[in-house]
Chains A and B, each alone.
Chain A
Amino acid sequence: MSSDIRNRPIITSTSELSFETVFTRYYGLVYQLAYRYVGQSDEADDIAQEVFLRYYRVPPKANSEAEQRAWLCRVATNLGLNVLRSRQRRTNREERVSETVQRIAPEVEAQLNPEQHALADEQAALVRSILAEMPERQQTYIVLRSTGLSYAEIAQATGVATASVGALLARAEREFRRRYHERVTTTGA
């Protein structure tokens, strides 16, 4: 494949996408997905780097760009969940939530005043802790959906039938809302 991309359309029905193109096109998506799981820039970047390193070394057998994108999201999800499992082993849930708030704080400190900072972090920590309590499959469905994946892509990334995605999302959303309202009611947040 030529390295000259100057005159090549971004997408044609016959061309291949270079590794560089795939990286620059999907790095943001993979980073965002990883960040949603781990909540820290350095870890999200590490995960994104690892995802593309695996892609580079052993390219997936993808028949379409949608499958490619789904593969990237699946690997990012697995790595993100691995990080969460490691954290869970280190500490109990209350300590973990507290740790997340404390560890995120320096990163956003430069962008928000103390009040905003506290509100944004409280909200993020609450959402993240609710997700952590849910079955992994359920949190995966709504996190993938929240990053803009179609039902077909979610199906590709999680290995379920496309026709089942709607029902699985419905259950996951219902479960998330139930746990959220439970928390808000309990804590008065």
Chain B
Amino acid sequence: MNELRQPEHNDNCLDQSILIARRDDELSAEEAANVEQHLATCGDCAADERLITSGGSQVYTLLSALDPKPGTVPDPIAALAKLNARLKETKPSTKSSRGLQAVPTRKKSSLIWRQLRRNWVAAVAAAILLALLILPNASAIADQFLSLFRVQQFQPVSIDPRDFASHPLPGIQDFGTWQVSPNSLKTQNNLTKAQAQHLLTFPIAQPGNLPQGLRNNPEFAVLKGGLLTFTFSSAKAHAYLVRYGHGNMTIPANLDGARFTVSVTSGVEMSFSSSDKYFIVLEVPSPTIRATGSASLNELRDFMLSLPNLPPQLVTQLRQIDLNSGTIPIPVPPQITAQHISIHGAAGLLLADNTPIGGAVVWQTHGMIYALGGNYGNASQLLTTANSLP
């Protein structure tokens, strides 16, 4: 293919660049088929392939040590506000937007799904966190010290990004600090199914039916579980309120130092991809959130829902969710449609874009959360794949 690809064994054998491209799913279908055919009959190349895969896994696992710690990445909306302030300071400008040239929808959606794949750990944590912070009021247990919340189902909650343009949604870092248990929330990539299974406490359920054109030979990755403890800080909360002009707002005394623990068990990600298509299946035991300190989840929720500048419609929707049901609110922007569906009798959500960009299905059953989706296939295909999980 180029001057750098020197054969290692003989003219028929595969060089490392081909094997590494195979590992990264960067070969065309024809190239991939030829490579597979060769690997099936050449022990040397098959050994090289295993070395490349395990070596790559080691390299990228080590590099993941350089990732920012959970909860430390600045909120993009706040970062944008910071940049806007900087622009205003330097030079007034009438430019309010920049344009990109049109690109095919599938190409763009592929990028989104690739990014989602990298960020799904953060997405899960964010969803749990959102629930933790803005759990709705539940009058039935208002007087109880609610200590445990287990994720059992999902409820779409409409949001409008414009509501947060001038008043960004507060981030967890504005109200306290996180502690993460040792070696938890690390992702181990490029695993075989057997390797992944060895790290899990539940059997991996692989879909029997995939959207047309995808081969059922996914790349496995495991997110190691662990404990995340959030400790509320009245000082940080007060600083946040002062920043937004509400420094006189009262913070309940018992919230200061209150601890809330999110327990996450190791989960698996299966990714099926090609050059511009992406499809992922996630399986993770339902996380639990426990109040372990001086304040209940109710008290934390009530305070968070009383924060200034939260869109009233969002607060109303959240208050309508029954906390006892273990429901996680799923934010749904206007361009996404959400539909309640049933997978093997379990309630779930189908999320789809108005454009043919793809979608996702998420549901919970028998203590497990399942989610799948990508830029490949329509809603019907997504449901077929979901129902094909054993």
Contact = CB atoms under 8 A, between A and B. Distances in A.
Interface of A: 1, 3, 5-20, 22-24, 27-29, 31-32, 35-36, 39, 41, 44-45, 48-49, 52-53, 55-56, 59, 62-66, 68-69, 107-108, 110-113, 115-116, 119-120, 123-124, 127-128, 142-143, 145-148, 150-151, 161, 163-170, 173-174, 176-177, 180
A53 B90 CA distance: 11
A146 B101 contact: no
B18 A166 contact: yes
Contact of A3 (B4, B18, B97): B97
B334 to A, nearest CB: 5
Contact of B65 (A8, A15, A53, A120): A120
A31 B100 contact: no
Interface residues of B, number: 79
Interface of B: 1-2, 4-5, 15-21, 24, 26, 52, 55-56, 58-60, 62-74, 76-77, 79-80, 82-83, 86-87, 95-105, 107-109, 111-112, 114-115, 117-119, 160-162, 165, 177-183, 275, 334-335, 353-355, 357
A188 B313 CA distance: 58
6 contacts: A23-B79, A44-B68, A148-B115, A151-B26, A166-B5, A173-B55
A11 B109 contact: yes
B111 A113 contact: no
A16 B182 contact: no
Chain A contact surface mostly: helix
B97 A166 contact: no
A16 B70 CA distance: 32
A110 to B, nearest CB: 4
Contacts of B112: 10-11
A174 B357 CA distance: 37
Nearest to A121: B65
B59 A66 contact: no
A111 B102 contact: no
Contacts of A15: 102
A163 B180 CA distance: 41
B73 A170 contact: no
B98 A10 contact: no
Given A9-B353, A112-B179, A150 B62 contact: no
Nearest to B62: A127
Contact of B162 (A1, A5, A18, A173): A5
A166 B20 contact: yes
Given A69-B111, A163-B2, A110 B99 contact: no
